[in-house]
Every structure is written in C-alpha cells, then in structure tokens.
Structure 1
Amino acid sequence: MADAATRYRIGFDIGETFTDFILLDRATATIRLHKCLTTPQDPAEGALAGLAALVAEAGLALSEISEIVHGTTLVTDALNERKGAGLGMITTAGFRDVIEMGTAQRYDIYDLFLQYPDPLVARRNRLEVPERLDRDGQVVTPLDLEAVRQAARQLVAGGSQALAICFLHAYRNPMHEKAAAAAIRAEFPDLALSLSSEVVAELWEYQRFVTTCANAYVQPLMDRYLARLQRELWSRGFRGALRLMQSAGGLVGPEAARSFPIRLLESGPAGGGLATAFFGGLVGQKDVISFDMGGTTAKACMIADGACEVAPMMEVARLHRFKKGSGLPIKAPVIDMIEIGAGGGSIANIDEVGLLKVGPHSAGADPGPACYGRGGTQATVTDAKLMLGYYDPGFFLGGRMALDKAAAEAALASVGAQIGLSAAQTAWGIHRTVTENMAAAARIHIVEKGKDSRRYAMVGFGGAGPAHAVEVARILGVEEVLIPPASGAASALGFLAAPLSFESVGSLPVALEDPAAPAVMQQVLAELAVETAAMLTASGVDQAEISIERNADMRLAGQIHEINLPLPEGDITAKTCRR
C-alpha cells in the first residue's frame, strides 16, 4: 500500500502526433488515460496543458504527484530535421575528416549514385589542434592548450553554440579532452561541451566522433526544454521527482539527461518495449513481439524470456528509411527494435509508375490527416481507417475530438481518381498496403534474429496498432494477439514500469591469455561501477539500492565483430577461465 506522499505517478510520452498521459494510483492499482495533440512548435506547451487536464479530471493537483516520468521525440526530431544548435568540433590534428569519410563501406552495392548523410558539423567548423595519444593512452604529442583556446574562440565567433571535443584514443586516456574542456570552460562557462571520452568511451573513431557530435548538437535544445519544463512544473506546485526515459529502457534524472541527451533518442519506443514485456508477463507469455504503430511510424521489438534485448547502437537520419548504413551511427544503448512501416499520419499517394504508396512523409499533428479538420488535405492511413469503419468519428480522443469523414472521403477520392478507384477502394488499398509492408518488414527482422514468429504472441498498441495487429499477426503465423487496456498510451505506461538505470562503457583491447589481463579488467570495471553509481545517486537513488550488472564485448583473435557476454560478479582476478 502506497502512502499519500508516493500514491500518484504520471508517465507521459510526447510523440510526433499525440502526447500520451497515464496517471497511476498505486493505492487502488488503477490508471487514468489522457491524450492530446502534440504542439510541434513547442512540445512543452501541449505537455503542460495535458498534465493540467489529466490531474484536473482526477480531482488532483500537481502537488500531489510524487513522480513524473517523461519520454520525448525531441532529440530524434532535432537530428532528423537538422534543427539542433550551431555546432563546432575540435579534434586531433589530421583527423577532422573522420566523420565525413566514415567506414568507406557501401550500404547498397548496386546504387551508382550512392549518397551518405551530411555530417552534423560542417568542415569549416571542424578545427584541429596539436595533440596525440597512442593506442595505450600514452602521450605522443602534448596537448597545445593555446591552440584549443584559439579554436574555441574562432568557433564561438562563427556562431557555434555547442562544441564536441573528439581526440584520438581518448577512450583509453581522457586527460587531453578533460584539459581542453577545462580551458574552454574557463573562457566560455555557458558553452555546451561534449567530450567523446564521456559520451562514448569506446573504440572506433567514426562512431565515437559522430555520437559525440550528435550529443553536442542537441544539448542546448534539451537544456532549454528541461529548464522550461522544470520551471513550469515548479510554478504549478509539483515538488516530486522528474525522470526521463532512456533508449535502453532505464530512467535518469534531468541532470544526466542534460549531459547525455543522445541517450533519450528512442525513449518513447523503449517504453513500448517495457510495456510489451509487462503485459506479456501478466498472461504468462514471456516470448512476445511488440507491434507499436503510432502517428508517424510502426516499430517491432522482440521480447525473449520476459526481457527486452538491448543493442549497442542505432542509426538516425537515414537517407533511405529502411536501408541500414544510410544514416548516422549512434553508439548508445537502445532497446533492440526496428521500424517496420508507416503510422496513422503517413501520407498516401500514387508514385511515378502508377502504384499506391504510403509514407514515408507524415501529416503529423499540424495540420494532421484530412479528417482532423485542421487544414490537411492529403489522404493518410487514419483517413483510410475512418472510411473503413475502424474509427468512430464521434468518439476520437475519448470524445474530445470529432473526425470529419467527408473530408477523409474527399482526400481518398482525390488519390483514387488517379488510378480509377473509388474512395472506399482506395482506403482498402491503403490499409492492405500498410499491413503487408509491415508484416514483410517484421518477418525479415525476426528471421535475421534466427527466431520463429509462430512461437511468439503479439502485443498490439499505439494509437493505430490495434487496427492492424491481428492482420499482421495472421500473416506472420502468430496465433495469439493481446490488445491491452490503455493500448493507445502503452509507451507512457511502460515508463512507469522502468527502473532507474545508467550504462557506462569503456574499451580495453586485451587478450585474455595475457597474465595481466584480469587485473586490468578488474580496474576498468571498478572505475565504471563508480561512474555509474555516481550518475544514479545524482538522480536520487540510495547507494544501498544500486545493483551492478557487467558485460563484455568479446571476439576471437582476428575477428572484427564482437559478441556481448555477461561477466560474473565479484573479483575478476579470482575467476578462472577454461578453454
């Protein structure tokens, strides 16, 4: 039984079309759902209005809420739309083009006009300074601090609002990056700084540099957003804890989110993965496929033995939506999921060869689908489902929003007229196209993991998920589909099931046959444990409640790809290995 001070918790998820809210009453084990349209020009505006409406409907005040857990697409949108801060980069002499050269791998060997995403920082804003460490972290060329100061002055004068400091081999020894940061902060104390040794202290310069630049790119944006959100919540009486959802399925406090906003990249979908595991567990299903279809995209995630698999990296800002390698690699932990198709707001049109195509462009929340009556005229998946009778035009958003079926029919008829179809036929074509495409993409994802979809159940959620889940499951051979209560806000509910957690990483290239390896590994693990615990205690976690899980990326000599394996508890030096 929860006491009065901790009785109420709220989870809310800002999506591209809707913002979802869940109010949990721990004393009665009940929830209250609320949804409102996202305000793209200022996401905090819609979120604050929705919070006010939610607590008012429950007869409460924000002062009675003990915790608010939040997920947002703010970071994703900023990277996809290139709406981050003016960015500069300071790097080791000779290495400023690493983020442009990439890995020199072709993601499509048959495309003669292959393109790659532009770096987040233009070449003129990537400046080099004398410094060099070797692969073991030993100084080869001392850092020229005066060159660092001059570079920072030049970048700030050129309009940079944030700087990424990316030195070679900083993952082994951060001393040069820390010294450079101290020199810059002494002269520009309010400038946002991201150090590669703090953001992602791992091997591979390209991924490390890109991730650090992406983190710096969104830092000022996230700082302003959180500052306003905290200020407004405080002024409205909220005195509880504010947490933010990470892509890997754990929660952090505002300070950690300000320092590492790149870890919030997939915060909403991560909540959906946790919700899937939760609902599957309630009915005794530990192997579940999540099917999350919102306003813009549909995503799938596999839950095995009741747990979400966490991947070490992801891609953003892809030039080709479904082509791996066409985006920016972000080396940050994320619940392993895949985008499998369009969302409710995805726009339908006829392509150059006369075929019906859905997405990737979305009507979003403003103006939204034609049936929203907010100025949209293009046919979308939502218009199709309204035309087919999947939605009740008089009971959308719980009855707070009426849908315009005539506007939807007109938009669908406009598309169908190009290929001789009626509005109803066009609606059915959109529905079938979306369903088949999502099932095909999900099947590829499942097969690539070596799994058999017929052995899994499916949980359908998101604003548009339940309307497609059964047909997608039928195509995949899935025999059981769960549509949970409050399915339209399942990600927000998943936030409330998430633990406070943080992941720290470090690279240590070492051969296990080296007699010194266990002692060096133990030292690195101890340092990472201290670093991780510090982030959690800063978020309000008691030291006695912290548990540590350890993993290592390992490979055979001569291989290039690692396999992540769990490490035993205790002192590594006391363990024995057998071949």
Structure 2
Amino acid sequence: MWRMAFDIGGTFTDFVLAGVGEAPRFLKVASTPNDPSVAVISGFEKLLTDAGISASSISTVLHATTVATNAIIERKGRPTALVTTAGFRDVLLIGRQKRYETYDLYMDKPPPLVARRNVLEVTERVGPNGEIEEPIDLASLNAMVDSLAESDIESVAVSLLHAYANPTHEHVIKDALQARLPNLLVSLSSTISPKFREYERTSTTVANAYVRPIVADYISQLQSTLSERGVENEMFIMQSAGGLISTAIAIEEPIRIVESGPAAGVLMSALVGTESGEKSIITFDMGGTTAKLGAVDDGIPAITPTFEVDPIRYRPGSGLPINVPAIELLEIGAGGGSIARAEFGVIHIGPESAGADPGPICYGLGGQRATITDANLVLGYLNPDFFNAGAMQLDVHAAKTGVERDIGQPLHLEVDRAAWGIHAAANANMEKAMRIVSVERGRDPRQFSLVAFGGAGPVHAARLAKSIGIPKVIVPFGAGVGSAIGLLRAEPKIDASITRVLEIVPESHSRIADIYLKLKQQADRDLRHL
C-alpha cells in the first residue's frame, strides 16, 4: 500500500511517496503556474517509475495547494456578485471603523472582491434572535434574479442581516437563483460562516464565492488527470485548520483551503518537535516565493478562529477577514526567488518573485534579475553541483554577474558584499515577522525551538534564531519537502461552529443542547463526504 502527497508551491512542487516498510521517496520539480497539473503529472510519473509501481498501487493521494490564496491576493477570481439585505449594500466598503494605521491620513482599506455595481439588494429583515421582522419581498427578489440573468456573473454570495440566526430567507434566495440560473454557483453565509459580525461574515462568504469556480475547475481537472493515469481513489486536500477534507467539500467550500499548503508544514513541525522532546516550536518554512511562520504551543499547532488574507505590513485589520478556523500563520514575500533591487541607496527584497519561470539567474532558464538564491550561491551557502539533490546545476558565474549588476554597481559594493547585503536584508524582513509570531503574541523565543524547512529555510535558520534569541534549531530529515511530509501525518477533520445569542438562565440548557445537536448533525453530514 502506497501513499502519495504533493504540495504545489510558487516555485517548486514537492512530492513524497511512502509505502509500508519502504523508505520514503522525495522529489522536487519546477512548478508550472499556467497549468499546475503538468508539474504534478511529471513528478507523479517519475516517482512511480523510480519505485517500480503502477498508479493503481496508490491507495491515498493527498494534496496541499495555494490556488485559492493566490486567486484572492492577485484578484484573479471569476465575476462574482453579492446579494444582501436592502440598506446594507456597502457593508464590505465600510468594513470596521478601526484603522490599522492610526496616523496615516492616506491609508487605504483593502478593496472588496466584489465591485459595488455587483452588490444587489433584496427587501427583507430578520432580527438578531431569528425572528422574521419583514418577509422577503418577491418583487425585489425577482428583480435581483433578472439582473443576474442579464450579467456575466458566475458565482454569487448571499449574506443577509442576521442570517446566522435564521437562514430561511437565504435559502429562499438560493432556490430562486437555482430555479432560474441552474449553472450559477451560490454560497450562503448561513452555511459558510454562520456567525455574527456582518462585515466578517460577508467578507468570508464573498471570498468563498470568488474563488469557488477556479477551485472547482482546478480540483476537477487534477482529479480527472490523475484518474486517467490510473489512480483509482479520490484525492484528499489539506484545509487551513490542519485536517484533510474530500474534494467534494473543498469544491463546495473552498474557503476552507485558503491556507492549505502552509498548514501542512506546521503539522510536520509539531511532529518533529514532539519526537525531539520539544513542545514549544516556532515554525519557519521558506520556499522559492514566500516565507511562512507559525507556532506550536505545548505540542499542538496554534489555531486561530479568524485570519486575514493579504495584510499590509502585517498590521491587524489591513487584510481581508476570513471567519473560519485556521492554523496561525504569518506569510511574507521573502522566498529564494524573491527579487533584490537597489532603491535610494538601500537594498529592497521582494515581494516580487522570479518564481519557477524563469526563476533565479543561476538556474540558467532565462532569469535576468538577482534573487536571494543567487546571493546565497555567491556566498557559498549552496552547492552548485548538488542543488535539488543533484537534479539541477547552478551557474555561479551568472549569479555573480547578476548580483554585481543589480546591487553591487548601484551601491558601489564588491560582489561578495552585495550578496551579503541581499542575504542580510532578507533576514531582517524575516526577523521582523518572527518577532510578530513570537514576542508580539506573548511567546518568549528563549523558551522555543525553531524548526526550519522548505527549500531555503535551513539556509537562513541559524542566523535568524540567533538574532531573536531562540536557543535551538531543528532541521528535520526531508526538510526540503516538509509540507508534503506533513500531509502524510494529517487526519480527516471537520469543524462546525455557529453563533447563537442566548440569555443564560436555568431554562436555557435545552436550547444549548439543541444547538449542539444541530452542529453534530451538520458535522455528521460533512463526514459522509470523507
């Protein structure tokens, strides 16, 4: 019995093939951003050939992906609309009163994923306790459906006032849309995020609707491609909260997999820490495009009930709020492929990345701009003859030429000093992020160990640990494919939560029991899809 896990990153796609009684096989292949399945099939077939087995021997396929995250950050989702209660059209634009930069007079809030012209209203009103104060107006309902029928909208989010307390009106709207527009994808806030706080609930539901067509196409195509190669079993996908879900759930609720890839790495770090006798861990995953930091407290990955996508300068309230559980992570644009440039006499790193195509200069694939990987090669931190286990030969001379041209000449530095400047600037960015994950969140770094993984993580780990006061660095076996290893350790997991506002009196215990019973029934329904 064999299990295959793969994690698609911005630069490399990582694979692990594990069999009972067999040594695990690792592989990294260049990602193919235009069609991720190309890299998946390439690595998949190579591992099968090396192991001498057929695709039908694979009992389990596990996958971590950033396709949903990238679609939100890059604003590349499909045309999406929002249906809301009349009078609440601007919930996403208004957001919260709190400013993430108190004294910045020119501060911009994150732009909504849905244009205001695509926010439609329906006359209705549900009270905070679920009472229907105003029945849904059929004329406004039909007008909304007519408007969508004449548009190019592919996916709709429905988020009505207090729908978490009574979802009846949302289901009426869904039925009306599906009766008239059967191919339209509909996401209900009462299903995606049945919690109070209108802005966060609406933002989460809109994000789900925004990425749903892309994720559905991506997963369906990938599953079909694997089936054509002889894989007989369904694929499972890592979710943000650190458990596996079926493709059916991921297609219906893609908001669950927004932080899919990084979450798997934190699970691996927790396991490594436990086996090393360390229960307090800071996780450091540096790949080719980004660096991700997380935490393990008392042997358990830290979970946050909400998180933000694409925050500005790590400021709370500056990103798009997502109201679903997720492993606590902080992501910055500092990966091995992050581009270095000289501006106003200072070295700047990222967030722009050379990615997999063309990649850093030293790859010899057409890259023309100096990156962190080029600097690390010039400094001697990388073996040019054994990069990616010898699968790639790095060009030291080309890296030196690029670093000298982009950094050395503008700043009047010798090539070694220029390379060191790139390395140090990248470390400074990551050190700031590491202080946020540790000190600013109440963790004393002197009491933690650092688990470093990802293709570039171990190169920077020791100096980062020293700068922040972490006494121990752990580089696990298979660090370069750490997130894929974490997938093999993950288990199926379903989260269910809801908001109910109750007065705590002796008679309320029956209502609380009823709420828990309904949550259990919901979880049982989801478990049938696993």
What TM-score do the two structures reach when normalised by structure 2? Answer: 0.97
Give the structure 1 partner of residue 176 of structure 2. 183
CA RMSD of aligned residues (A): 1.4
Q: Tell me the SS of whatever aligns to 1:249.
A: coil
Give the structure 2 partner of residue 332 of structure 1. 324
Deviation at 1:43, TM superposition (A): 1.3
CA contact (8 A) 1:302 1:309 kept: yes
- Once the two structures are superposed, residues 166-202 of structure 1 have per-residue CA deviations (whole angstroms, 9 ceiling, x without a partner) of 1110001111111111111111112111000000000
Q: Indicate whether 1:204 and 2:205 are aligned.
A: no
Give the structure 2 partner of residue 566 of structure 1. none
CA contact (8 A) 2:223 2:234 kept: no
2:523 to 520, 528, 532: 532
The amino acid of 2:172's aligned partner reads A
The amino acid of 2:488's aligned partner reads L
Whole-angstrom distance in 1 between the partners of 2:483 and 2:320: 25
- Once the two structures are superposed, residues 543-565 of structure 1 have per-residue CA deviations (whole angstroms, 9 ceiling, x without a partner) of xxxxxxxxxxxxxxxxxxxxxxx
Give the structure 1 partner of residue 387 of structure 2. 396
Q: Indicate whether 1:488 and 2:467 are aligned.
A: no
Deviation at 1:518, TM superposition (A): 2.1
Give the structure 2 partner of residue 288 of structure 1. 281
Whole-angstrom distance in 1 between the partners of 2:416 and 2:85: 61
Deviation at 1:116, TM superposition (A): 1.2
Give the structure 2 partner of residue 413 of structure 1. 404
Question: Which stretch has the larger CA shift, 198-207 or 40-49?
Answer: 40-49
Cα gap change, 1:95/1:492 in structure 2, threshold over 3 Å: closer, same or farther?
Answer: same
Whole-angstrom distance in 1 between the partners of 2:431 and 2:251: 37
Deviation at 1:341, TM superposition (A): 5.8
The amino acid of 2:510's aligned partner reads A
Give the structure 1 partner of residue 71 of structure 2. 78
Q: Tell me the SS of whatever aligns to 2:490.
A: coil
Cα gap change, 1:507/1:193 in structure 2, threshold over 3 Å: closer, same or farther?
Answer: same
Count matched residues: 529
CA contact (8 A) 1:462 1:490 kept: yes
CA contact (8 A) 2:333 2:352 kept: no
Whole-angstrom distance in 2 between the partners of 1:241 and 1:216: 24
Deviation at 1:151, TM superposition (A): 1.4
Asked which structure has the greater RCO (Cα within 8 Å, sep 6+), the reply is 2
CA contact (8 A) 2:129 2:501 kept: no
Give the structure 2 partner of residue 14 of structure 1. 8
CA contact (8 A) 2:37 2:225 kept: no
- Once the two structures are superposed, residues 257-306 of structure 1 have per-residue CA deviations (whole angstroms, 9 ceiling, x without a partner) of 01110111111110010000011111221111111111122122111111
Deviation at 1:149, TM superposition (A): 3.7
- Once the two structures are superposed, residues 465-491 of structure 1 have per-residue CA deviations (whole angstroms, 9 ceiling, x without a partner) of 000111111122222211111101100
Q: Indicate whether 1:301 and 2:294 are aligned.
A: yes
- Once the two structures are superposed, residues 137-177 of structure 1 have per-residue CA deviations (whole angstroms, 9 ceiling, x without a partner) of 11111113453343133124221010111111000111111
Question: Which stretch has the larger CA shift, 242-251 or 140-149?
Answer: 140-149
Cα gap change, 1:185/1:146 in structure 2, threshold over 3 Å: closer, same or farther?
Answer: farther
Q: Indicate whether 1:441 and 2:433 are aligned.
A: yes
Give the structure 1 partner of residue 376 of structure 2. 385
CA contact (8 A) 1:341 1:441 kept: no
Whole-angstrom distance in 2 between the partners of 1:312 and 1:499: 19
Q: Tell me the SS of whatever aligns to 1:376.
A: coil
Deviation at 1:340, TM superposition (A): 5.3
Whole-angstrom distance in 1 between the partners of 2:272 and 2:369: 36
Q: Tell me the SS of whatever aligns to 1:68.
A: strand
Whole-angstrom distance in 2 between the partners of 1:482 and 1:497: 18
CA contact (8 A) 1:341 1:438 kept: no
CA contact (8 A) 1:469 1:481 kept: yes
Give the structure 2 partner of residue 501 of structure 1. 493
1:162 to 155, 170, 175: 155
Q: Indicate whether 1:27 and 2:60 are aligned.
A: no
Whole-angstrom distance in 1 between the partners of 2:359 and 2:103: 37
What TM-score do the two structures reach when normalised by structure 1? Answer: 0.89
The amino acid of 2:47's aligned partner reads L
CA contact (8 A) 1:341 1:437 kept: no
Q: Tell me the SS of whatever aligns to 1:361.
A: strand
Q: Tell me the SS of whatever aligns to 2:411.
A: coil
Give the structure 1 partner of residue 62 of structure 2. 69
The amino acid of 1:411's aligned partner reads G
CA contact (8 A) 2:293 2:433 kept: no
2:512 to 516, 521, 528: 521
Q: Tell me the SS of whatever aligns to 2:282.
A: strand
Q: Which runs of 5+ in 2 are unaligned?
A: none
Whole-angstrom distance in 1 between the partners of 2:206 and 2:436: 32
- Once the two structures are superposed, residues 289-326 of structure 1 have per-residue CA deviations (whole angstroms, 9 ceiling, x without a partner) of 111111122122111111101101111133x2422222
CA contact (8 A) 1:11 1:69 kept: yes
CA contact (8 A) 2:145 2:176 kept: no
Q: Tell me the SS of whatever aligns to 1:154.
A: helix
Q: Tell me the SS of whatever aligns to 1:190.
A: coil
The amino acid of 1:208's aligned partner reads R
